[in-house]
Homo-oligomer: A and B are copies of this chain.
Amino acid sequence: MHVLITGAAGMIGRKLTERLVRDGGLNGKPIDKLTLIDVAAPAAPVARGIRVTTAAADIAEPAETAKHVATRPDVIFHLASVVSGEAELDFNKGYRTNLLGMMGLLEAIRRVGDGYHPKVVFTSSIAVFGAPFPPSIPDDFHLTPLTSYGAQKAMCELLLADYARKGFLDGIGIRLPTICVRPGRPNKAASGFFSSIIREPLNGEEAELPVSESVRHTHASPRSAVGFLIHAAGLTREQVGPRICLTMPGTSCTVGEQIEALRRLAGEKVAARIRRKPDPLIQRMVDGWPQRLDASRARALGFKAEESFEEIIRAHIEDELGGRFAA
């Protein structure tokens, strides 16, 4: 089994790589080859028995993508993406990476021909949906993104579905809720504060909250996100059916409830490290985002996420902080 990961140097990409190396296999088959690409070459993991190739490749350059697709990976995790805040600020870059990148990847697959028919697992986003919303958003809610990032992800979903329908590949698009708590430093995602307000205080640092505490949103941990990807790769075409893009499950809570969970788990002193600093641009973007998602199709297909925000904080403390935090 040969697995290719695009965007492998990103947070989810690194965690997926770790998990695949640890498991040593995917879909019940041993992994003998792992190709990791990103705009800068990802670090090669120590992986006994797996031939690892790491390479710098700009996903928006069709020839660079095609070179790696030509090695005929069985499963492709397409994670490479410019995040929401950056795609909104840099219109060109967002379309180049997110839309042209997907087009290049899919065309590269189609052009291999000769019976090549990989499984493509694409990370979409709940940003494909835009307000006004019903109380809980079903999988078949119409696509009316209110950001360029959401528009790009929605177009990628349509592309993936059409290439799958035409029989060029076996595809599944998983709409990730906001991944929280993201480890490491803040990125340019407009959703970054959802993680910062937990991560920084646990690390003894102050964090800025740019939106109101009444903001409701849906979250899943990085651990769950990797679980979604692995699970998606193992579903058959028959299980998924013709509508291949699915909203993933998550925990819906308000920012106030996030802070309350942090206070309960880590204490008042930690929670007090959150400073209110309203940012109208972020508030406006977030106001257009989904609050609750009906992921019943995904749940029925066996996708699993945390049941509470406390569980999400605990996953972060376990996976990233070795069980300790700055009280």
Contact = CB atoms under 8 A, between A and B. Distances in A.
Interface stretch (A141-149, A189-197, A215-223, A275-283): A141-149
Interface string A225-251: 000000000000000000100000000
A281 B300 CA distance: 33
A140 interface: yes
Given A140-B142, A142-B140, A142-B141, A159 B151 contact: yes
B148 A166 contact: yes
A165 interface: yes
A136 to B, nearest CB: 15
A162 B142 contact: no
A160 to B, nearest CB: 10
Contacts of A166: 91, 148
A70 interface: no
A27 B151 CA distance: 30
A66 to B, nearest CB: 16
Nearest to A94: B162
A157 to B, nearest CB: 9
Contacts of A143: 142-143, 158
Contacts of A91: 110, 166
Contacts of A155: 155, 158-159
A137 to B, nearest CB: 11
Contacts of A165: 146
A162 B143 CA distance: 12
Interface string A149-179: 0010011001101100110000000000000
B141 A151 contact: no
A90 to B, nearest CB: 12
A243 B130 CA distance: 10
A158 B142 CA distance: 11
Interface centre among A148, A162, A166 (most CB of B within 10 A): A162
A143 B148 CA distance: 18
A154 B158 contact: yes
A140 B134 CA distance: 12
A159 to B, nearest CB: 7
Contact of A161 (B151, B161, B162, B243): B151
The 6 closest A-B pairs by CB, nearest first: A151-B162, A142-B142, A155-B155, A140-B142, A151-B158, A155-B158
